[in-house]
Structure 1
Amino acid sequence: MDNKVKRIGYLPRKRVLEIIDEISNSESISRSKVVGILVEEALDARGIANFGYSNITNSKIYKSNNYKDLQNENVHLKDAEDEFVDDSGYTVSSHKKLDRSISSADIELANKINILKESGLI
């Protein structure tokens, strides 16, 4: 059985990596599993696919034109342009102040992961 899966390299921002590490450690699951769950939730929230995280009646059928329109609307966003990641670490623009607190969204995500873990899905 030849099952070739291509690896996706993902270099998150420092704060995102910290959150992924916190969830990974607290839930005793791998970073990859955490990232996979987050990606599924994001796709589900955008209505691109239904993984059971949102109400199925509210999800939209994925249409490439709709997604392209959404990307075009957000083309003016420049937040990520002043943060660079290289082998030595992270460089963050000096005018940004990093928020190191755990938000309610972080806690909500951890609770969702707990539910998935308890139900045996992860």
Structure 2
Amino acid sequence: MMEPYTFCAEMKEVKALLTYILSALGKGSTEDRILQYPPSTDEITLEAGATYEKTVTINRRLRYLCVSVPADCFLEIRNDNTTVMWFTDEAGTIELPTGYTINTITLKVQNVGSAPCRWSCRMVFA
């Protein structure tokens, strides 16, 4: 008999592989999933010394990423607890033509400066 944890871990891997295959064949979800952080304009300003962190399970392929991160502000993007990208003092858009599989994404934004900063991150998943 297989342990439940082992079974769940293997099923997660199978699901990620099937998602990858379907998206490569163009037969994945018919709708893109768009995430934008912060989720509202009320939260766009991060106070000095503050941290914003959000974790979301996606199980899709990241196709586009657009960030605006000022100086004294750090944005870290982790996939399954592994840092895959980080930004500071930059703004722009990245297109990933074949996509990058994201299972559970964590965004962590830290304002290490002495003044409030405005930041944003938009992602399109296929």
TM-score norm. by structure 1 comes to 0.21
Query: Larger % of strand: which?
Result: 2
Greater RCO, 1 or 2 (C-alpha within 8 Å, sep 6+): 2
TM-score norm. by structure 2 comes to 0.21
